[in-house]
Amino acid sequence: MTNFERAKLMIDAMMPIADLHVRDATAEEFVKRRLQMLTEEYGGRLLNSGRNPIDYSKITTHIAYTYRSLPAHSDWMYKALTHARKSVLAKMTGKKVRVACIGGGPGSDMLGVLKFANENNLNDKKFAFAILDREKAWNGCRKHLVDTFEGELTVSQKHISLDLANGSPWATNWDWLDADIFTFSFVLSEVWAFNEKRSVSEFVDQVIGGAGEGAIFCYVDNGGDNFIPLMEAEFDNRPDLRCIFSRDFSRLLMSYEEQSSAVEATYRTIFGQSPKLKGNVSMRVWKKI
């Protein structure tokens, strides 16, 4: 099953729930509004230090994100892991694979890792995800994602509250630092605007410093001159990280098997726009040494 096919099943499951929560307009109309909101927020406001954090609390926003961004972001996470395949597989030799997804509320990181697992025949493993995110309401969205893997992979997840803007201690607990893999999927570009007091920088430093030897760090995010230097300032030149893969794509496409028609056939006319299919993307994979 492709990312777009899974996204279609997730949206199918969420739309009836959204119908029960909206007033004064249809769920479809609210999703269209949320899509426009996300387009505007991601289109040039991310580094505006005067902005408020994006509101991800509403199920119509979850549907909008699942339609617009989830398939692409998770495919690019899968691609990054595949570029470092040998090192990643070497960290997945145990019966349980522990993954900490920083800002992983929507499930993009999770889907990318699970696509990698399927492609590499890791069906005998148990995948335990620690999802660190500011918005607990994403839980329902991810449950629908996990449901699409029934009979394919054994998956568990737990939400851990995380607020990167307000300084230490950031997370409600730190049990997840024993993870085999740490993922950062389009999260740091959303929080650099709140790094004036170095809250984000100090969090990243504490995560890397606390991770175990051999842990894999996978970063997939917006590329370009506005974002790459911010990432490099945190990760490059650290004596405890070795870069395994590094590439910047000015126009990264999705994998050939990912066909947006799987979701657009039903929802393109209803939602009024197409899903994200390409992007200016930076990928990095490091190993803790």
Both tokens of 31, joined, read 């999703």
Whether the predicted pLDDT of 44 surpasses 90:
no
pLDDT band at 16 (very low <50, low <70, confident <90, very high): very high
Residue 55 has pLDDT above 90, yes or no: yes
The pLDDT assigned to 246 comes to 98
User: Binning pLDDT at 50, 70 and 90, where does residue 141 land?
Assistant: very high
Beta strands 154-161 and 216-222, pairing class: unpaired
- Tell whether domain 3-288 is in CATH 3.40.50.150: yes
- Token readout for 131 is 């999802």
Tell me: the pLDDT tens digits for 224-247?
999 999 999 999 989 999 999 999
Reported confidence tier of residue 287, pLDDT bands at 50, 70, 90: very high
pTM of the predicted structure, to 2 decimals? 0.97
> What's the pLDDT at 218?
99
Residue range 266-289: mean pLDDT, rounded: 98
Q: For residue 134, name the pLDDT band (cuts at 50, 70, 90).
A: very high
Interval 67-106: pLDDT, tens: 999 999 999 999 999 999 999 999 999 999 999 999 999 9
215, 178 Cβ separation under 8 angstroms: no
Q: Where are the domains of the chain?
A: 3-288
Mean pLDDT of 23-37: 96
DSSP string, 242-281: EEEEEEEEEEEEPPTT--THHHHHHHHHHHSSPPP-EEEE
- Predicted pLDDT at 133: 98
Residue 218, phi then psi, degrees to nearest 5? -120, 120
pLDDT band at 254 (very low <50, low <70, confident <90, very high): very high
pLDDT at 82: 99
Burial of 100 (0-12, 13-18, 19+ CB in 10 A): buried
Does the pLDDT of residue 29 top 90, yes or no?
yes
